[in-house]
Amino acid sequence: MAELMFHGLMPAFPTPLAADGTVDAAALERLVDYQIERGASGLVPLGGTGEALSLTAEARRRVLDVTVATAAGRVPVVAGVLDAGFGGAVDTARLYRDAGADGLMVIPPYYARPGQEGVLAYFRALAPELRLPVILYDNPFRSHVVLAPETIARLEEERLIVGIKASNTDLYHFDRLSRLVSDRFCLLSGQDTLFVEQVLLGARGGVLTSAALLPGYWAEVQRLAEAGDAKAAFARQGRLHALMDALFAEQFPEGVRRAFGMLGLPIGPSLPPVGPLSSAAEARLAAAVAALRADGTLRPA
């Protein structure tokens, strides 16, 4: 099997913020170290979990500078390019490339809502400008663009992308895609709640939000699934259901921020329009975190 450029657990993580909304560099350094020391195979800052679209260009550059410097080559850093169209994507990619990113995670152009040929044309135009390996961010819930497996395979065939964060919850779509791409393609799960299912269908890792909290745990889930022990893999994934339900229940990614605070690594509140959790959601999250701390699954920062 071919050696992959990106594989294993690559957490998508929140951007630590100070009370005034600026990037908290010290907290970001601690967060990067936390994830690497606990088993992350890569890092994905400035995606949806990182609230990239709520940050200024200056703040995003600061996030990349600190993340790259702290990672110090220990794992690759793949930065999220979530711009709706060509000009913004090019500007963002240049910013991240200059900051030392190892790759880019690029969402299709969602405001124009193009067809399959339009997406192909978009990535053909972007490729000469990006000059970094690209992971396609396939998230129809956010982008409202549904890419056919054949389109994604064509993007790989034309060497426009090296992999995908597959956040499409359609497992038949994922199964078809896995049969069309090469063994060099970085097929990555983007769905925390379906990680085992996607690994069994060929995923070679994942860009998961909950993996920011416990990357090593998820790496063991992947190992079990790849070894053919689906029962054990599903059991371990199932132990996180209460946590995942609480993290994604409301006001995402505020739940992830609060969970880190509960582990002793406060990273500040989310930016508008995301607000605080309701008291019920906070209690639900606290109970899930406490249960995982009690059985040793989650350890304090």
Closest CA to 165 of 256, 276, 79: 79
Q: Based on the number of CB atoms within 10 Å of its own CB, is 274 exposed (0-12), middle (13-18) or buried (19 or more)? A: middle
Q: What angle do CA 43, 213, 227 make, to 5 degrees?
A: 80
What letter would DSSP give residue 15? Answer: -
Gap between the Cα atoms of 91 and 109, Å rounded: 14
Q: Which residue, 233, 237, 215, is CA-closest to 225?
A: 233
Helix residue ranges per DSSP H, the chain = 25-37, 57-71, 86-98, 116-130, 140-143, 149-157, 171-180, 195-200, 215-226, 230-238, 241-247, 254-262, 279-294
How many other CB atoms are found less than 10 A from the CB of residue 131?
11
Considering 34, 137, 172, 217, which one is annotated as catalytic?
137
Residue 226: helix, strand or coil by DSSP?
helix
> What distance in Å separates the CA atoms of residue 150 and residue 16, rounded to the nearest whole number?
38
- Of 47, 34, 119, nearest to 78 by C-alpha is 47
Is the Cβ–Cβ distance between 224 and 212 less than 8 Å?
no
- Active-site entry in 110, 165, 172, 231: 165
The total number of residues shown for the chain amounts to 301
Is 231 annotated as catalytic?
no
34 given a catalytic annotation:
no
Rg of the chain taking only CA atoms, in angstroms: 18
What number of other Cβ atoms are within 10 A of residue 155's Cβ? Answer: 23
- Collapsing DSSP to helix, strand or coil, 126 comes out as helix
Q: Which residues are catalytic?
A: 137, 165
